[in-house]
Amino acid sequence: MKGALIGCGFFAQNQLNAWRDIDGVEIVALCDQDTQRLSTSASTFGIARTYTDAREMFGDGGFDFVDIVTTVGSHRALVELAASHGVHIICQKPFAATLDDGQAMVGAVRAAGKTLMVHENFRWQSPIQAAMKAVNSGAIGEPFFCRVSFRSGYDVFSGQPYLAEGERFIIEDLGIHILDIARAFLGDVDHLAATTRRINQSIKGEDVATMLLKHRNGATSVVDCSYATRRSPETFPQTLLEIDGHEGTLRLDAGYRLTLQGKTEKIVDVSPPLLPWAERPWHNIQESVRTIQQHFVDCLNAGTTPETSGEDNLKTLALVEAAYRSAKEGQTVKLSDR
Ligand code: NAD
Ligand code: 89Y
């Protein structure tokens, strides 16, 4: 299977490493408007075909899928371009700047008859997968409450300076993953209420968000995110969980410690492996990149729909929109039945 990648910036290095790890896949072309980033990635990963213009790359063709690793502003144009050239697509989060854009993008790829997956990787982290497996096995009975928490003081702005510049920050960038994890555990959401704050005055958007979700199955979740939390030890980039079920509780605590309390108590170390090209503390995210990309390839080979498909991701995107609206209007927002 041959792929092309657009956007050779900060995060794409992880994706290029992960593609190199996956059997049967070769990245044959790279595109970036920044010639320095383009040539550095091409030489690091030994990729001969390079382009500064995505249209030219699609025109030359010769690949089955494209991996879009640019920031959100360019996603719609690039996804529609890829669909018009009939290739499968994996696109980074946030998938779209608005829900309307997201719907148009999903429609364009559906009309082309191709697969579209969003690189929504947090639910694919091995500690989260371990917790999901335990809940799905019935270890705590039916969950009725879930807290999904990400609180950190880690400096994300040095690697990703654009995060300090947007009107929106933590919900759109990070909360989107944490909301997706709540969906993965408890399913679709009926209504949501949110508050936001900006603590760090040198950035433009909100860096604290607290969200209360009522799920359609009757369960409640609290999704809380902060990049203004000074804690020791620093837990970036761990997502912590607390799930109550009718027959027990599950906790994923700092240090990747999974505790299951049912009729008996079990404590398991679910630390993610450190891949050869990974580095702490990012290794948790980096491993999930390889896992999600392997899932994409497996789905293409089997002709099945990826778990975090474009269509599925519209529901996570709807939660992001609802959270901003709720915080702005000071009201609970009902999700549509779509
Ligand atoms: P970045 O700015 O470092 O890199 C983006 C690159 O895309 C730049 O080099 C830019 O020149 C290039 N680019 C932009 N528009 C282009 C176009 N039309 N054609 C060709 N090249 C173009 O950004 P980043 O930090 O690597 O983030 C990329 C995406 O990855 C973002 O959407 C971000 O939210 C996401 N991200 C995801 C995770 C995760 O865990 N899933 C982590 C970090 C970043
Ligand atoms: O961009 C973000 C993401 O998706 O995961 C962590 C991050 O890099 C900073 O918040």
Q: Which residues have CB under 6 Å of ligand 1?
A: 6-12, 31-34, 37, 54, 69-72, 74, 92-93, 119, 121, 160, 162, 173, 285
Q: What is the pLDDT of residue 260?
A: 97
Q: How many domains does the chain have?
A: 2
Domain-terminating residue out of 97, 114, 131? 114
Are 127 and 39 in a shared domain?
A: no
Position 200 in a domain: yes
Q: Could you tell me if 323 and 177 lie in one domain?
A: yes
Whether 8 maps to a domain, the answer reads yes
Residue 155: predicted pLDDT: 98
Domain encompassing residue 138: 122-277+308-334
- For 309, which DSSP code? B
Distance from Cα 261 to the centre of ligand 2, integer Å: 31
* Domain harbouring 59, CATH code: 3.40.50.720
Best mutation site among 173, 239, 285 for ligand 2, i.e. most ligand atoms within 8 A of its Cβ? 173
* pLDDT tens, residue by residue, 51-108: 999 999 999 999 999 999 999 999 999 999 999 999 999 999 999 999 999 999 999 9
Same structural domain for residues 95 and 128? no
294 in a domain, yes or no?
Answer: no
| Structure ipTM | 0.99
CB neighbour list of residue 104: distance below 8 Å, 6 or more residues apart: 76, 80
In this prediction, residue 69 carries a pLDDT of 98
Identity of the residue numbered 296: F
Same structural domain, 129 and 261: yes
58 and 164 inside one domain: no
Answer whether residue 300 is part of any domain.
no
Indicate if the alpha-carbon torsion angle 53, 56, 58, 62 is positive or negative.
Answer: negative
User: Residue 98: inside a domain, yes or no?
Assistant: yes
9 and 37 assigned to the same domain: yes
Task: Note whether 288 and 308 are within 8 A (CB).
Answer: no
Claim to verify: residue 172 and residue 95 sit in the same structural domain: no
Q: Are 163 and 203 contacting, i.e. CB atoms less than 8 angstroms apart?
A: yes
Residues of the chain with pLDDT under 50: none
Beta-strand (E) ranges in the chain? 2-6, 26-31, 49-51, 65-68, 88-92, 116-119, 143-151, 189-197, 208-215, 220-226, 240-245, 248-253, 257-261, 265-269, 333-334
Same-domain status, 179 and 325: yes
| Same domain assignment for residues 218 and 249 | yes
Nearest CA to ligand 1 atom 12: 7
End of a domain among 84, 114, 144? 114
Q: Which amino acid is at 96?
A: A
Q: How far away, in angstroms, is 69 Cα from ligand 1 center?
A: 5
* pLDDT computed for residue 337 by the predictor: 65
Which of 114, 148, 167 represents a domain boundary (last residue)?
A: 114
Instruction: Determine, yes or no, domain membership for 39.
Output: yes
CATH classification of the domain holding 131: 3.30.360.10
What is the enclosing helix (H) or strand (E) of 290? Answer: helix 283-302
Apex 134 CA angle, 131 and 139, nearest 5: 135
CA dist 196 and 117 (Å) reads 29
Give the number of the ligand closest to the Cα of residue 159. 1
> Are 92 and 229 within one domain?
no
Q: Does 196 reside within a domain?
A: yes
Q: Give the residue whose CA is nearest to atom 5 of ligand 2.
A: 174
Looking at the fold, whether 133 and 99 belong to one and the same domain comes out as no
226 in any annotated domain: yes
Same domain for 159 and 48? no
